[in-house]
Each structure stands twice: as C-alpha cells, then as structure tokens.
Amino acid sequence: MERLKPFIALLDLDLLLFMAVSAVKVGFFLGAVMGFTAFLTWVERKLSSLMQDRVGPNRASIFGFTLLGLFHPIADGIKLMMKEDFVPARASKVLFTLAPVITLVPVLAAFAVIPFGNYIEILGYRVDLVIARLPLGLLYVLAVSGFAIYGTFLAGWASKSNFALLGALRGAAQMISYEVTLGLTLVGLMMVYGTADLQQIVLAQGRLLFGVIPAWGVIYQFPAFLLFLTAAMAENKRTPFDVVEGESEIIGYFMEYSSMRFAIFMFAEFIEIILVAMLAVTLFLGGWQIPYLGEAGFLFPCGRSIAIHPYAVVLAQMAAFAGKTAFMCWALMTLRWTVPRFRFDQVMKLAWQGILPLSLLNILVTGLVLLLAGKL
C-alpha cells in the first residue's frame, strides 16, 4: 500500500469520482439490458404461442410452480452451458471463437450514448443519466453497430462450411445494404434538430408545438420513423428479413456453432432488439420526456401546475423511457410473428429500390421545408 501512495496522490479526486459514477451507470444500465434480454426470450415465445393459438412455454417449474413459463429462460441458460462446445475440425479456431464476441461487443458498446434520463444531483454532484455523452452520439451508434458485420461474416467463413459461408455472404450483403439506408433515414431528423447529440435531441423533444403538442420526432419525421424501423429490423436480420438463416435452404452463418457460442449469437440478436427500440424511442418518441413534466413538476397548457420532488421526476422519466422501450420491443416482436419471410432478392430490392430513394426524398423534402421556414 505504501508503494501505491505516490500514484494515488497523482490521481484527481474529481477523476476518481467520475470513474466511480461511470462504473455505477455502466453496471446499472447493462444489468437492466441483460435482464430484460432474458425476459424477451420468454416474451417472444409467449407472444408467438398466443398469436398461433398454442400453449407456449409452460414446462419448466420450481417446486411445482411454472409462473406462466418464466423459468424457461433460466432452463435455457443451464441447458446451453451443459451442451458440448463443438468446433469443426477444419474450422479456423481463433476466428471461430472471436466471431461471436465481435458480434456481441459492438451492440453493447452502442448503448453507451443512449440517455435513459436527464440528470440527478446527489450531494451537489451532477450525474448525467447517460454513460457517455458525445456530440456525435448518433453517428457513434451507426459506426459502432456496423462492426457487427465482421462477426457475422467471420462466423460463416471461419466455420469452413459452404452452407455457413452462403449464410454469411447473405448476411454481410444485407447488413451493409441496410446500414447505408439506416443512416440516410436519420439525416432528416438531424436536419430538424440541428445536432447528432442524442441527449440534445431528447431535450429538444420536450418543447411544445402550438403550446399543446409535444415536439416529438415522430411528428416531424413520421415517414423517417417507418423507414428507420424497417431498415433496423432488416439490419437485425429478423423475420421477415431472416434470409441469412433459412431453415428450408439449410443455411445460416452460425449453423456450426453450439453451446454458449451459439447462445451469444442469439443473445446479441435480442439485445439488438432493445437497441433498436431505445433508438426509436430516443429519436422519435421523446426519449425519457413526459409531456408537460419539467424539472419542477407538471405544467399544463391551461396554466395549472403540480409540484413534484426532483427525485420523483427523475424516476418518472426513467420509468417512461423503460415503458416506451418495452412497448417498442412488443411492437417489433408482433411484426416479427405477423409478416411472412421475404426472399433474398426481395430484401435487397427493398433496400436499394425502396428505402434508399424514399430516404433521399425525405431528406430533400425536409431541406425544402426548413429552407422555406427560414431554418437553414
């Protein structure tokens, strides 16, 4: 300990406090995401069973209690850990091992800039409810999430299987195509709010149009909202865009994976659902904003106000963000079990001949409207 004292003396107290607060935010946010991801695996199976008039998960029990199948995610985790971790003899073992990690890490890293509240003061220290606030946070999300393409391709290529490689090629082509269109769907939104800082975008959505209507992004950019959800679902490779893992064609970039390596791919897919939902909420549905709720409480257009403790306001905003995210996850899963799978040529045609020109048209119209309104 005596040897460490000179190094401890060099550290700034404010820096240590910042690091401690950041560690708490990372643990809280990622812990909530991981827990909700496990819950989503149950929600998807339960939702699909309800829509298809099936029983759904109801077998796993503890002391005879099934709790509507809520123990199934725990049983899944135990089962996957107990399975044989098989690696094909001809596979590139290093890349075969790294591929699931490269798929998961970029998705988790993208959560760093998503604000889940405004700020809270604790003993005079201001804590922003975002892990890392960046001026170009939206561009950071698009850039980091794009690295998942390498994990998808390497998984198929490193398996040394023709069928896995075919799925990887489809996955890489699909993800690259929809990464391009996904970014273009958000250009109009950045033009409206004049920033790529996600917290600034959420704060701007706290304004009221005509003193009554919340200025959420979905009101300004409703076409972009629909295009964004479509491109995000396709980039996530989920039904109706799951052509990279067509069971009828016996292909799939992770078909040679088993045990926890396969679980990482599956987990990354569900985590990306939450990421897409949080981005949609942050950009288009007001984020953590609650209409008419400010730092001091509710202030209604009629002039009436209700004072609320600042801590209660923060908790309400965080709950609103969580509720909106849960709603968007439910909506995405409902679409997943409603629309049938497209063919691969239809998926690519939708990207380049559908979403791309419509996104460019949205940018043009948004620019013309802002120019006529004197905002440019």
- In whole angstroms, what is the distance from residue 170 CA to residue 253 CA? 9
Q: How far apart are CA 29 and CA 117, in angstroms?
A: 11
DSSP per-residue codes, 144-206? HHTTHHHHHHHHHHHTT-HHHHHHHHHHHHHHHHHHHHHHHHTHHHHHHHT---HHHHHHHTT
Q: Encode the chain (376 residues) as per-residue pLDDT tens digits.
A: 556 555 555 556 777 888 888 899 999 988 999 999 999 999 999 998 988 888 888 888 888 888 888 888 889 889 888 888 888 988 999 999 999 999 999 999 999 999 999 998 888 888 899 999 999 999 999 999 889 899 999 999 999 998 899 889 988 999 999 998 999 999 999 999 999 999 999 999 988 887 788 889 999 999 999 999 999 999 888 888 888 877 666 678 888 998 899 999 989 999 999 999 999 999 999 999 998 888 877 888 777 888 888 899 999 999 999 999 999 999 999 988 888 888 889 999 999 999 999 999 999 999 999 999 887 6
Distance CA 173, CA 350 (A): 13
Handedness of CA 339, 340, 345, 346 (dihedral sign): negative
In one letter, which amino acid is 308? I
φ and ψ of 24, to 5 deg:
-65, -40
- pTM score, two decimals? 0.92
Residues 6+ apart with CB under 8 A from 31: none
User: CA 24 → CA 105, 123, 132, distances in Å?
Assistant: 19, 16, 13
Could you identify the residue written with the tokens 């004292």? 5
